[in-house]
Homo-oligomer: A and B are copies of this chain.
Amino acid sequence: MSDSVKVAVLGASGYSGIELLRLLLRHPNAELVAVTSRTLAGKALSAEFPRFRGVGVADSLKFTNPDTETLKATGAEIAFLALPHGVSVEYAKGLLDAGIKVIDLSADFRLRSAELYKEFYDHEHPAPDLLSEAVYALPEVRADDIKKARLIACPGCYPTSILVPLIPLLKAGLLGDAPLSVSSMSGASGAGRKESVPLLFCEVQNSVRTYSVPKHRHLSEIGQELEIAAGHPVKLTFVPHLVPTHSGICTTIFASVKPGVTLDQVGEALQTFYAGQPFVRLLGANKSPDTKNVVGTNFVDVGWAYDARAGQLILMSVEDNIGKGASGQAVQNFNLVCGFEPTAGLMNI
């Protein structure tokens, strides 16, 4: 491919969409040629999002309707879908047929099984034939597949924070059979940019609360990927919490280890697996990651510790839920698909 690729963003008015715009407006190898939103059609990008005023094409580019024909006419080669699940799938097939590669941020193409999708998302999958083609695109795990794909399913925010520390340990066979316990805390942007009383400032500021207990939808993709890594099903309890911050996920995992496994072995497995990866920062044993160090970035920071009294391993990870947990990872996949520098447009700090 050339050193600049024309891209479109569908569904640009949510927090992931806005973050995508932020990254793509300044990406050295991306030319933003289309942004779509039915409700904003005709309006300039920076008129809706004044933060972008004066930056790149933000003053000149106008929102359009998300019609494939319109997008095709812009010359877009790659489309980012920052749409709700159930909506992405409506556009994906048309775009692919029109020769436009799809990088989807929704849950629509993350699962390999249409039945699992139905169990967790409460309706039949509308395009089950596309599931086998889609790649669950965790770049540190599946780069080769991503490079060749035309339908990219970006992992969810919680799953990324959970899979990054666990996959290397499962692959290395270090973990025991006891169920994994996962406690995650997310900033409010993870709940979306929608009219909602429970997400008002006054409802969130003094609030820490669990939700979607005990069966959050992300469990489906987490289970799928852990099973692939481990070679067998993995039991996991997941409890997400909403905490009063804009962005950032902090995940704490309690795990058993096989007899004799040491904390050094855990560290080595992680270091081996992530050697050379620019966006996974391994902090070391007994180090606590902090969301404040990753908010606004594509980094995921990981620490680990061993509770000798109870005999449990503790894994700790942080990321930006709309960065590495969504739009940053989408751009990371874009770089892979296009053969650009892995860090192109992503070394924001």
* Interchain nearest-CB distance for A55 vs B (Å): 5
| Contact (Cβ within 8 A) A347 B239 | no
> CB of A75 within 8 A of chain B?
no
| Contact (Cβ within 8 A) A201 B244 | yes
Give residues 152-182 of A contacting B (CB, 8 Å): 178-181
User: Which residues from B are CB-within-8-Å of A79?
Assistant: none
| Contact (Cβ within 8 A) A206 B246 | yes
> CB of A338 within 8 A of chain B?
no
Quick one: which of A181, A211, A215 has the most chain B CB within 10 A?
Answer: A181
Distance, CA A288 to CA B211, complexed state (A): 6
The segment from A88-96, A135-143, A192-200 that touches chain B is A192-200
Q: Which residue of B lies closest to A53 (CB)?
A: B281
> CB of A57 within 8 A of chain B?
no
| Contact (Cβ within 8 A) B293 A245 | no
* Interchain nearest-CB distance for A194 vs B (Å): 7
Instruction: Point out the residue from B26, B197, B278, B305 that lies within 8 Å of A193, measured CB to CB.
Output: B197
Instruction: Point out the residue from B204, B235, B290 that lies within 8 Å of A311, measured CB to CB.
Output: B235
A-B pairs with lowest CB-CB distance, top 6? A183-B183, A181-B254, A195-B195, A214-B307, A201-B204, A207-B292
> CB of A349 within 8 A of chain B?
yes
User: Which residues from B are CB-within-8-Å of A201?
Assistant: 188, 199-201, 203-205, 244, 246
Proximity string of chain A (204-229) to chain B, C-beta cutoff 8 Å, 1 when within and 0 when not:
11111111011100010000000000
| Contact (Cβ within 8 A) A237 B290 | no
7 contacts between A and B (CB under 8 A): A50-B290, A188-B201, A188-B202, A195-B196, A200-B200, A215-B309, A241-B252
Quick one: which of A199, A213, A294, A311 has the most chain B CB within 10 A?
Answer: A213
> How many chain A residues have a CB neighbour from B under 8 Å?
86
Copies of this chain in the oligomer: 4
User: Which residues from B are CB-within-8-Å of A246?
Assistant: 201-202, 205-206
> CB of A44 within 8 A of chain B?
no
User: Which residues from B are CB-within-8-Å of A203?
Assistant: 193, 201, 292
Distance, CA A162 to CA B201, complexed state (A): 25
| Contact (Cβ within 8 A) A209 B312 | no
Proximity string of chain A (297-328) to chain B, C-beta cutoff 8 Å, 1 when within and 0 when not:
10101010111111110101010000000000
Distance, CA A29 to CA B288, complexed state (A): 34
| Contact (Cβ within 8 A) A208 B237 | no
Q: Which residue of B lies closest to A279 (CB)?
A: B54
* Interchain nearest-CB distance for A56 vs B (Å): 8
Distance, CA A297 to CA B54, complexed state (A): 12
User: Which residues from B are CB-within-8-Å of A30?
Assistant: none
> CB of A117 within 8 A of chain B?
no
* Interchain nearest-CB distance for A308 vs B (Å): 8
User: Which residues from B are CB-within-8-Å of A247?
Assistant: 202
Instruction: Point out the residue from B50, B181, B292 that lies within 8 Å of A51, measured CB to CB.
Output: B292
